[in-house]
Amino acid sequence: MKKIVLITGTTSGIGRACAEKFGEKGYRLIVNGRNPEKLDSLTEELRNKGFEVLPLLFNVCDRDATTAAVNSIPAEWAEIDVLVNNAGLALGLEPEYEGDYQDWDTMIDTNIKGLLTMTRLVVPGMVTRDKGMVINIGSVAGDAAYAGGNVYCATKAAVKTITDGLRIDLAPTRVRVTNIKPGLVETNFSNVRFHGDNERADNVYKGIKPLTGADIADVAVFAAEAPEHVQIAEVLVLATHQGSGSVVVRK
């Protein structure tokens, strides 16, 4: 039987790359997005590649909509093998004392509360089946704060702790839990962070070869495909000329 992966935030970046890499591995794909046009075009694109795709339109920040969407998954798609909690974002790079309340709330609602909602909805089935895997997309930003990172870094530190807690709680079961912590990945991450200031976003990746979404998706697939007794608990993935969340050597 083909395995099923559910990926949140699938319409761009690491999420989209995960859909492609898991699809290539033969997984059936439950893809999620909050923009109907983007989700439709992603679904069509993935189906054109020959993948089996179930699109689910919801915003992980909306707990009722998320619950309704997950509960609407038809029986033949319901036995999810891998949950990739990818939906997440950074907003702003202001000093904490000048931060924007709305940006803070959106990051906390998406990166922490959305991830928790998905976990709460999907993991009980995995426990019942005594089988499954949760891959949370954390960040190097969760290891230590960097200038202007404040609340974003805190949400990714929360992802680390929440992932560790889940792994502990699932230790009696065969469900595995992984935290993948990327560094600089060139996606629309910085365009979103800088509210559409593309020039500023491009500068983030100037003078360094950044990671791609596909690089991170490869790690996710590796963790999912590891033998059943192997739990890849945590992986920090940096660009070669990145030393930490705040050290980047540009050439």
Q: Which residues bind ligand 8X3 (CB under 6 A)?
A: 139-141, 182-184, 245
Provide, rounded to whole angstroms, the least separation between the CB of residue 242 and ligand 8X3.
8
Question: CB-wise, 62 or 218, nearer to ligand 8X3?
Answer: 218
Please say which residue, 9 or 245, places its beta carbon nearer to ligand 8X3: 245
- Residue 124: Cβ within 10 Å count: 10
Contact indicator for 17, 41 with CB cutoff of 8 Å: no
From 126, 122, 151, select the one nearest 139 (Cα to Cα).
Answer: 151
User: Which strand ranges, in their side-by-side order, compose the sheet holding 234-237?
Assistant: 53-57, 28-33, 4-7, 82-85, 133-137, 176-182, 234-237
How is residue 60 written in tokens? 């992980």
What's the rounded Cα separation, in Å, for the pair 1 and 190?
39
Q: At closest approach, how far in Å is the CB of 8 from ligand 8X3?
A: 16
Local structure of 133: helix, strand or coil? strand
**Which residue's CB is nearer to ligand 8X3, number 23 or number 92?**
92
27 in catalytic set: no
* Smallest gap from residue 182 Cβ to ligand 8X3 (A): 6
Dig out the tokens for 101 from the structure: 């309340």
Residue with nearest beta carbon to ligand 8X3: 139
Q: Which of 97, 101, 152, 205 is catalytic?
A: 152
With respect to ligand 8X3, which residue has the nearer C-beta, 30 or 159? 159
Active-site annotation, residues: 152
